[in-house]
Amino acid sequence: MNQTTPPARQPFSAADPAATQRHVVFSHGQASGPWGRKISALAEIARSEGYEAHSVDYRGIDEPRERIARLAEFCKELTGDLVLVGSSLGGYVAVASASMLHARGIFLMAPALYFPQLPPLREGIVDCAAAVVHGWRDEVVPFEQSVRFAQGCRASLHVLDSDHNLHDQIRVIQHLFEYFLIALDLPAMAPE
């Protein structure tokens, strides 16, 4: 079941046809649910920046390819700007889906990207803005996976003093996510 929460506040008028539709779609990890602590906290930020916040329910779906298909099915009705946010296995789902869904950006938290049981990711799979947050003390997904990913696609990387769930750094992650969304709207700077 896909879930969408009503927006806390809507900076764009629904009656304004010039308002661009903007969506943030969250993908949770293997051991969590669609509206856990991190997703709920980041959904507030998404709404404050003019995005509709959605979270796909993957509970009971263990196969990564099935999760990717679920995300694609959910997003097919969305129009406008799309930002994907993924945590742990949801990070893998976001990365694997970003190009296919024409995402404008991906924001990843402790993404599980390079485990042998996961289908390998293609080189150059990311063709949009990307940011990664990981904990130095992550006992589930080694932070080195995020370093490898960030180096490969030149993503911004933030390694925090935290564990896999990152719950003790939610305020910091909210600020990083807010900056990420704001930066997507900044004009590109010409090279000097």
Query: Would you write out the chain's pLDDT as a tens digit for each of its 192 residues?
Result: 445 443 333 333 344 444 569 999 999 999 888 999 999 999 999 999 999 999 999 999 999 999 999 999 999 989 999 999 999 999 999 999 999 999 999 999 999 999 999 999 988 889 999 999 999 999 999 999 999 999 999 999 999 999 999 999 999 999 999 999 999 998 876 666
Range of the domain at 128: 32-115+124-184
Q: Which residue has 């600020």 as its token pair?
A: 175
Output phi, psi for 14, to 5 deg.
-65, -25
Contact yes or no for 23/74 (Cβ under 8 A): no
Classify residue 189: in a domain, yes or no.
no
Classify residue 39: in a domain, yes or no.
yes
Classify residue 89: in a domain, yes or no.
yes
Both tokens of residue 16?
């304004």
Classify residue 27: in a domain, yes or no.
no
E strands in the chain: 3-4, 22-27, 52-56, 81-87, 105-109, 129-135, 156-160
CATH number of the domain to which 93 belongs: 3.40.50.1820
Tens of pLDDT, residues 66-117: 999 999 999 998 999 999 999 999 999 999 999 999 999 999 999 999 999 9
Specify the number of domains making up the chain: 1
